[in-house]
């Protein structure tokens, strides 16, 4: 893609992530020339007081587009599969938030704070760059500075993922179930596999190999691809919790070298995209309600394993719709613009 002062951008999809992409493009002052918003049908939408016309998607809609941001829906074979190649044919670079292309060899999987140079592979490949899964993104942002210091051998992660990670219908279900239960009326679960109000359940995605879910396998395979190594042993348990926005993760990691916690905190604090929130005496640590609407990854509860000089714990929180999806995609677009 030729360097320009402004870029013609298409945002494909106007669900929760698509709406957030429009917000992030504005808040980060991305140099947009022409902006097209595409979905299945024509209509107007209002986002933060700004009216956008949504045009019906077609191959011709990508004519003249430099960067196409596909909002994507986990597990759905939708617009990205149908239209990504059409966008590339017409000269666009596609940044896809869905799961369709993530593990394909000729499609880079990029977190700008971790592997920014991989955007170059889009030219040699298919002109498509994939956004990783939301839970993977925030984890690798936190792991990368530690890996640079000590080389990580093993990661054991338990996630506490917000309802919005399953889409807007899941958020509606959380609110509806909460109101029903408070009124003494039991409600059904339709958008999620179990009741979400006043409950947690360890089931995100379908159950797959070795009884790990597809979400858990994503964290394994995507981490290996992003960090360019399959030597890190990653094991995950992904849990849905009754939170609207903001994924939290409890991460245990073991390194090849003994860990100096002061050095870890210094490295994390100096790393792009990370905010350290770690004051045990003051009971200050990252919370999902504090991450909402923000682009950074928040890290706290940083402490050593009591029994292993090469082991430690961290607690990681991020807005799953922003850094876990929309912001990461726009950051990739920023890398393309810079290069």
Indicate which residues carry an active-site annotation.
134, 247
Q: Which residues pair with 152 in a beta bridge?
A: 255
Length of the chain: 339
Instruction: Report CA Rg, the chain.
Output: 20
| Alpha-carbon distance values, 328 to 28, 90, 131 (Å) | 12, 24, 7
The Cα–Cα gap between 98 and 52 comes to 23
90 by Cβ neighbours in 10 Å (0-12 / 13-18 / 19+) ranks as middle
* Residues 240 and 283: beta-carbon distance below 8 Å: no
Q: Cβ distance 9 to 25 under 8 Å?
A: yes
Token pair, residue 55, equals 């045009």
Nearest CA to 212 among 202, 225, 222, 227? 202
Q: What angle do CA 335, 117, 328 make, to 5 degrees?
A: 45
Q: With beta carbons less than 8 A apart as the criterion, state whether 30 and 9 touch.
A: yes
State the Cα–Cα distance between residues 308 and 312, nearest whole angstrom.
8
Distance CA 201, CA 196 (A): 8
């Amino acid at each position: 893609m030729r360097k320009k002062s402004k870029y013609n951008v298409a945002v494909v999809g106007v669900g929760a992530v698509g709406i957030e992409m429009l917000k992030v493009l504005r808040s980060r002052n991305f140099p947009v020339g022409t902006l097209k918003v595409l979905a299945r049908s024509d209509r107007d939408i209002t986002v933060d007081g700004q009216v956008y016309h949504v045009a019906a998607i077609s191959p011709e809609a990508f004519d003249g587009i430099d960067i196409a941001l596909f909002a994507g829906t986990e597990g759905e074979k939708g617009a990205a599969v149908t239209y990504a190649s059409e966008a590339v044919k017409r000269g666009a670079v596609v940044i896809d938030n869905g799961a369709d292309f993530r593990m394909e060899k000729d499609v880079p999987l990029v977190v700008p704070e971790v592997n920014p140079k991989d955007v170059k592979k889009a030219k040699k490949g298919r002109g498509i760059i994939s956004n990783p899964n939301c839970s993977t993104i925030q984890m690798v942002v936190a792991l990368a500075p530690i890996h640079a210091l000590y080389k990580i051998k093993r990661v054991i992660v338990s996630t506490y993922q917000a309802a919005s990670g399953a889409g807007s219908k899941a958020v509606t279900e959380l609110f509806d179930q909460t109101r029903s239960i408070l009124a003494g009326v039991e409600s059904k679960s339709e958008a999620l596999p179990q009741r979400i109000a006043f409950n947690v359940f360890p089931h995100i995605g379908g159950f797959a190999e070795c009884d790990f879910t597809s979400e858990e396998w994503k964290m394994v395979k995507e981490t290996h691809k992003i960090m360019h190594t399959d030597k890190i042993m990653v094991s995950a348990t992904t849990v849905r919790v009754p939170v609207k926005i903001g994924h939290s993760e409890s991460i245990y990691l073991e390194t090849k070298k003994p860990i100096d916690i002061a050095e870890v905190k210094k490295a994390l604090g100096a790393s792009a995209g990370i905010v350290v929130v770690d004051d045990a005496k003051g009971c200050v640590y990252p919370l999902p309600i504090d991450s909402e609407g923000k682009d950074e990854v928040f890290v706290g509860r940083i402490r050593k394993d009591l029994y292993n000089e090469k082991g430690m714990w961290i607690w990681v929180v991020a807005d799953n719709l922003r850094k876990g999806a929309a912001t990461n995609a726009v950051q990739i677009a920023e890398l393309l613009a810079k290069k």
